Structure 1
Amino acid sequence: MDLRLEMTQARCSDLAATSSFYRLVYSEIEECGWERLIWLSDDLSCLSFRIMDKKKRGHILEIRLDKSYPSCPPSIAADVPHIFNLKWSTNSRLKDVLRQFSEHLEKLQGFWDSLENIDKCLSVVGLEQQSHANSYRQINIGNDCCLILNIDANDPRSLPECRFMGSDHLVNSFRNKWRRNNKKWSKDQPLSVNLAIILETRLPGPRDAERDDQKFECGICYAQFLPTDEGFGDKSGCRTDYTCENANCGRAFHSICVGEWLQSITTTRRSYDFLFGNCPYCSEPVSVRINTKCE
């Protein structure tokens, strides 16, 4: 168990001695597994778990608890196209929420498989901004024209809703082909193949991009960009700008988030303008320059 989880568990253990609510939440987190917990509020009323589906996609499930829990069911939010109806009774526990969420993820595997086929085979606009909750894709189809698809999460291989963008002449041509050929759509074919058949053209492939230019969500705040705020100084609105040097981890972060994280850890060392500690994911050594936001 890494230092972050040890400290969280120790804090929960202390709280568990003070109230029945804390004791209940503490015991239920243990049932779920501390290694799956990625965030916990100070009053234990809000928790976030990372759940892996069978294709090894990571999903974040946020659970909010009322003080009357478990008499009152928790509220849930997640990075999925639609949330599931939580089945709850006074005998239910957090592990039941995670189980139902995992079952919901399994029902969405075909949806994400279809989107990944599009992302792998076609030129998708704004791909780096997509999340597991998005059911649409904007696809470059050539000649400055785009096709916007909205995939049905419950029937992802069916004919999707579509909208064309571009010059009227070219867009009208694509629309006519779509209306003329949409009966050729086959659920047995990948989405990328169906699109090529209906539009009677070879669609552009993915845009080439260097791995070093790829930007990922911050492993601490789970956003790609910092908020636009004067408090962040010259980092206001910036992308993730720090990466764990461990080749087996490689998580991206905002340097400001890393600084705030390290300052919350009692084992962090400070030397001149730098903080030294451990990556919150792999526990490998990390260091970051202190800035005004971290002070």
Structure 2
Amino acid sequence: MQRDGQIIYFLPLCLLRDRRSWMGASGEIGDKKGREHILEIQLKRTYPKCPPSISADVPYIFNLEWSMQSRLKNVIRQFQEHLEKLQEFWSILEDIDKSLWVDDMKASFATSYRQINIGNDSFIMLSINASDPRSLPEIRFLGSGPSVNVMRKTWQKNSKRWKKEKPFLENLASLLETHLPGPPDVLKRDQQVECGICYAQNLPIDDELGNKSGCGTDYTCDNTNCSRAFHSICLGDWLRSITTTRQSFNVLFGNCPYCSEPIAVKINSSKQ
């Protein structure tokens, strides 16, 4: 079957449930983003007087509109309309999967939560409202490290600042006041090419930078769960902008902007 340019595959099946004969069909329906969703339709002997039972890999099932004149094609049409309503929800989850360190990348389309690894055996459990995915998500902080306690307090302090018109990940970073670590493979690749602050591979060619002119990243966070790379000049400038940073001689002491672990960066006297 083909509908609106989407190919729908359905196979008839016969099941025996509670000593009653059930007939039905099972198949995959593609949405506009190319995602394929499994839909199962089960019919009782009283069909079409009674509506069919449906199950699918979606976060919640829609209310099926049914009458004596309704047929299976009406179920499929309503399911497609339901998929359309969930597009933004799935797009947000895909952005999270691509941009953050998600523990379980095999989550089904029915899953509305993500467990984010923030390093040091600590996690953030995000639960997104499938019917209103741009709304403030439910969040749980898992772990006992100091960074978890800081994030929990920061979230509670800033939760009213969530704005639906802003991108989900931008909202998340704004409320937590920190950048969450990306997927391990992305971090590894980024360490070789980009500074975590200026996002450039090399510093500009500039006489004022002295022997750092045109150099690549030369500082890496010691936290193995982070290992973000920086230009020491960029990191030094960033640390100077943080009021909690301490300085002893030519060394700045502060926290990594990505994982909040303690860091110490040597600086040039000319940059003070």
Q: Counterpart amino acid of 1:40? A: P
Equivalent pairs counted in the alignment come to 179
Structure 2 residue corresponding to 1:104, chosen from 82, 85, 94: 82
The separation in 1 between residues aligned to 2:50 and 2:33, in whole angstroms, is 33
- Match of 2:103? 125
Q: How many angstroms does 1:69 deviate by? A: 1.2
- Match of 1:284? none
Please give the root-mean-square deviation of Cα atoms over the aligned residues, in Å: 2.4
Contact 1:39 1:49 (C-alpha < 8 Å) held by counterparts: yes
- Match of 1:90? 68
Contact 1:140 1:147 (C-alpha < 8 Å) held by counterparts: yes
Relative to 1, partners in 2 of residues 1:156 and 1:75: Cα closer, same or farther, differing over 3 Å?
same
Matched, 1:148 2:120: no
Matched, 1:62 2:40: yes
- Match of 2:235? none
Q: How does 1:214-225 map to 2 (within 5 A)?
A: none
Contact 1:182 1:198 (C-alpha < 8 Å) held by counterparts: yes
Contact 1:142 1:203 (C-alpha < 8 Å) held by counterparts: no
Which of structure 1's runs of 4+ aligned residues deviate more than 4 A?
none
Relative to 1, partners in 2 of residues 1:177 and 1:30: Cα closer, same or farther, differing over 3 Å?
closer
Contact 1:37 1:47 (C-alpha < 8 Å) held by counterparts: no
The separation in 2 between residues aligned to 1:158 and 1:194, in whole angstroms, is 10
**CA offset digits 1:197-243 (Å, max 9, x no partner):** 1112121112329xxxxxxxxxxxxxxxxxxxxxxxxxxxxxxxxxx
- Match of 1:49? 27
- Match of 1:206? 183
**CA offset digits 1:74-94 (Å, max 9, x no partner):** 100011111011111110010
| Structure 1 unaligned blocks of 5 or more | 1-28, 210-295
Contact 2:57 2:109 (C-alpha < 8 Å) held by counterparts: yes
- Normalised to the residue count of structure 1, the TM-score between the two structures is 0.56
Relative to its length, the structure with more strand (as a share) is 2
- Match of 1:177? 154
The separation in 2 between residues aligned to 1:182 and 1:42, in whole angstroms, is 50
- Match of 1:37? 9
Identity %: 56
Q: Which one has a bigger Cα radius of gyration?
A: 2
Larger mean Cα displacement after TM superposition, 189-198 or 52-61: 189-198
The 3-state SS of whatever aligns with 1:123 is coil
Q: How many angstroms does 1:193 deviate by? A: 1.8
Relative to 1, partners in 2 of residues 1:90 and 1:134: Cα closer, same or farther, differing over 3 Å?
same
The 3-state SS of whatever aligns with 2:152 is helix
Contact 2:59 2:130 (C-alpha < 8 Å) held by counterparts: yes
The separation in 2 between residues aligned to 1:92 and 1:136, in whole angstroms, is 35
Contact 1:122 1:192 (C-alpha < 8 Å) held by counterparts: no
Contact 2:112 2:127 (C-alpha < 8 Å) held by counterparts: yes
The separation in 2 between residues aligned to 1:207 and 1:88, in whole angstroms, is 48
Contact 1:121 1:206 (C-alpha < 8 Å) held by counterparts: yes
**CA offset digits 1:237-274 (Å, max 9, x no partner):** xxxxxxxxxxxxxxxxxxxxxxxxxxxxxxxxxxxxxx
Contact 2:100 2:181 (C-alpha < 8 Å) held by counterparts: yes
Q: Counterpart amino acid of 2:12? A: L
The separation in 1 between residues aligned to 2:140 and 2:98, in whole angstroms, is 21
Larger mean Cα displacement after TM superposition, 191-200 or 144-153: 191-200
Q: How does 1:199-278 map to 2 (within 5 A)?
A: 199-208=176-185
Larger mean Cα displacement after TM superposition, 191-200 or 71-80: 191-200
The separation in 2 between residues aligned to 1:196 and 1:142, in whole angstroms, is 16
- Match of 1:272? none
- Normalised to the residue count of structure 2, the TM-score between the two structures is 0.61
